Structure 1
Amino acid sequence: MYFLPNTKENIQLIFKLFKGVAWINGNYFFHNKALPNKPSKGSFKRQNHRNSRGQEQLCPNEYLEKLELKKYAPNTARIYISCFEAFMRFYPNAILNELDENDIRKYLLFLVRKESSDSYINQAINSIKFYYEIVCGMPNRFYSIERPRKSKKLPKVLSVIEVHDLLGEIKNVKHRCIVGLLYSSGLRRSEVLSLRPEDIDSKRMLVRVNQGKGKKDRYSILSAKLLKELRNYYKRYQPQTYLFESPSGKAYSPTSVVNIVSCAAKKAGIKRRVTPHMLRHSFATHLLNKGTDLRKIQVLLGHNSSKTTEI
């Protein structure tokens, strides 16, 4: 093994010598590069993100750029940024690249004692690993960090009667169509709000989902009853870009969908808290109860693993 001083000139010589001969793994001598604090334009609405947070510690630009380069979904990116900035605030005066596994454990112990959810702790670990292993290029630095034990929980499901009663309380045609797609096609909330008018294939009675979770395209089934509602809705609202648009012409708000489902459930006398995702669970369970093959349900839901569908 040979050692050379980590200088710009030596690195240039190494690349020149081995050009066309061998691949060079630069992870071990590039990760100490100072991270710029100066905000730049562009990715993940960086300017809005920075201006809205005042003087708080903010994600390094390289973190944001790496999220953008790897094409992380906006929701995932927001979670990573939020979790990592919370970690940075826990060590306000530390140099990030000098923190070690014990420092990470200390932070995770703080989250556990604060009774943060298992999901949040896992997200925190992922956001920290992303910085050190992906942004800084440190090879699997925190492989021995303990994660919370996975709890086994069954998904919450509505009965067929409860779904019928819930839909019966929704009078607005746009709202009925949104909730109808959540249940009768088993779509995620984000997938419904990303639909465009051309994604409703009335000839084949299918709904096309473009770049759903995991950046996968798929088709799901379209209810004949819902198709009539969708046609009435389209004639009345004439959406241009998205199938469901806000008054300003942008995609419909995810929070509005939560409110629609929650209010309809209360009116229907359902005592439990009902979320849009419960309608997706109900779609799968009701198909299974009717004898639909599990593999077909897996395809309709867009699950990678049949184990997820089995739950």
Structure 2
Amino acid sequence: MKTVTLFPVEREGDRFIGIPARNDLEYRQLIAGYCGLQWSHDHRCYLMPYSRFHLNAIFQHFRAAEWYVNYSELRFSSTTRESPSTPSPETVHETVVIELEDYMHWMKQLRYSKNTINTYTGLLRVFFAYFHEKDPKEITNDDVEDFNKGYILEKGYSRVFQSQIISALKLFYMRFHSRELDIHHLERPRKAQRLPEVLSKAEVASLLMAVKNSKHRFMLSLIYSCGLRIGEALNIRLNDMDLDRRFVHIRHAKGAKDRFIPLGDRILDKMRQYMATYKPKDYLIEGRDGGAYSQSSARQVLIKAVSNTQITKHVTLHTLRHSYATHLLENGTDVRYIQELLGHNDPKTTMIYTHVSTNSLQKIRNPFDDLAI
């Protein structure tokens, strides 16, 4: 059985549970599936506030994947704030453990993605650990409001985190205890109207040219040229591509939807060169030991590439998708086609790119130019 060892971290008088980083794919997936962790560059580990319900939640998260959690080192010096005795992860209500196991299997049967299953179950463990002495049947809408005020807002977590908690709870109580919690009156936070970060075509070119490894350059080129989510790009198999018809079949994308993406001339040439050089066997982009390339490795490729350019914007892999959509719009592509290419259900989601496109904005005459000064 694999083991993860938790350790104490003290920062500015506050106490945290430290979770080490590890170059292990299963471990990284477990970390990615647990919401609320913060990466500390100073301590080179993941942090969560030190409390019984946090320890309970992370314990249950790893135990569900059959990992052993060693928390014997969680001792703090006497100079830190006084705290309750070392919590016991076994105090999570036993009903929660049983029902979350059922909940996971139920979501798998409904074909929810692995990321959604990990995210929802991780969030529910945090929520129910907060009320560790309560049976889920005893949870009320008032408890949800208390959790929102005392945990989400107090800790400064995002609107996305808050909204995902509501989604996870609604699905859980639809499956169990539907009469105990009025899920129809659980309100989501108002969405922030933020515009996506977009690179210019020149910035995209400089980014790709900064990647020396041809495999890594092809991967980023593919994401941009097809407007793919990172998970979609890394899940492409060889039999998903029809090079004669110049299409790639994106299967089981977000919302369990398939779609076809046309391949342009240049990416098609790059793809043929890449396949002749690397000879993938199953997935188009494979890891060193076979299988799909990992998302964390792809992110590291991007981070390194950005560091070798003069780009000062906050760039993620999704920025390439945003840039693709914006550049299509600036080239005169109809929004309805862009919606289809991106796989958006709601055209309102695609319309956000009309706000970041520069074509129309640059045509507006600035009234300052009319001043004779």
Amino acid at match of 2:143: D
Distance in 1, Cα, partners of 2:247 & 2:232? 14
Aligned to 1:79: 119
1:47 is displaced (CA, Å) by 7.1
The match for 1:234 is 275
Alignment match, 1:154: 195
TM-score (norm 1): 0.81
Deviation at 1:228, TM superposition (A): 2.0
Mapped to 2, the partners of 1:47 and 1:81 lie a distance apart of 13
Residue 300 in structure 1 maps to residue 316 in structure 2: no
CA distance in 2, matches of 1:215, 1:245: 23
Whether the 8 Å contact between 2:235 and 2:283 is mirrored in structure 1 is: yes
Who is 1:51 aligned against? 67
Contact 1:66 1:135 in 2 (8 A): no
Distance in 1 separating the partners of 2:63 and 2:192: 39
Deviation at residue 245 of structure 1 after TM alignment? 0.9
Q: Which residue of 2 aligns with 1:218?
A: 259
Q: Counterpart in 2 of 1:62?
A: 102
Give the total of aligned pairs.
267
Alignment of 1:62-141 (within 5 A): 62-110=102-150, 111-138=152-179, 141=182
Percent identical pairs in the alignment equals 36
8 Å CA contact retained: 1:133, 1:140: no
CA contact (8 A) 2:62 2:68 kept: no
1:140–1:296: structure 2 CA closer, same or farther, 3 Å change rule? farther
Change (3 A) 1:92 1:48: closer
SS in 1 for 2:185: coil
- Identify which range, 155-164 or 92-101, moves more after superposition: 92-101
Give the drift of 1:145. 2.5
CA distance in 1, matches of 2:108, 2:238: 28
Q: CA deviation at 1:103?
A: 1.1
Mapped to 2, the partners of 1:157 and 1:296 lie a distance apart of 19
Structure 2 Cα separation of the partners of residues 211 and 72 of structure 1:
10
Rounded to whole Å, the distance in 1 between the matches of 2:241 and 2:186 is: 46
- What is the TM-score with the length of structure 2 in the denominator? 0.68
Query: RMSD between aligned alpha carbons?
Result: 2.0
Per-residue deviation, 1:285? 0.4
How far is 1:193 from its partner? Answer: 0.4
Greater share of residues in strand? 2
Task: Give the deviation of 1:198 after TM superposition.
Answer: 2.5
Q: Per-residue deviation at 1:296?
A: 0.9
> Are the aligned partners of 2:229 and 2:318 in contact in 1 as well (CA < 8 Å)?
yes
Distance 1:151 1:103, change over 3 A: same
State how 1:138-287 maps to structure 2 within 5 Å.
138=179, 141-287=182-328
Question: For the Cα contact (< 8 Å) 1:205–1:222, is it kept in 2?
Answer: yes
- Per-residue CA distance 1:110-130 (angstroms, 9 max, x = gap): 211221100001111111222
Q: What is the alpha-carbon distance in structure 1 between the residues aligned to residue 138 and residue 333 of structure 2?
A: 55
Contact 1:262 1:273 in 2 (8 A): no
Residue 208 of structure 1 deviates from its aligned partner by 1.4
Letter of the 2:318 partner, please give it.
H
